[in-house]
Amino acid sequence: MRNRIFNFIIDGRLITVKGKSVKEAKRHAQQIARSMKTEENMGNQSAI
């Protein structure tokens, strides 16, 4: 089974991921959203 492209909107961001199933792709999208959120928080802390 080949990878398909899935789009998810998490925390108001559009995240596009490749995966074999919706379940797998959603898990990856949530991990990406979590890492983006922590990076954003780190950026905010350094600006203070």
The whole-model pTM stands at 0.75
Number of independent structural domains in the chain: 1
Phi-psi label, residue 45: left if phi above 0, alpha if psi -120 to 50, beta otherwise: alpha
pLDDT in tens, 1-48: 789 999 999 989 999 999 999 999 999 999 999 999 888 888 777 655
- Name the residue range of residue 11's domain: 4-47
Q: How far apart are CA 10 and CA 40, in angstroms?
A: 15
Predicted confidence at residue 48, as pLDDT, reads 55
Q: Which helix (H) or strand (E) holds 1?
A: none
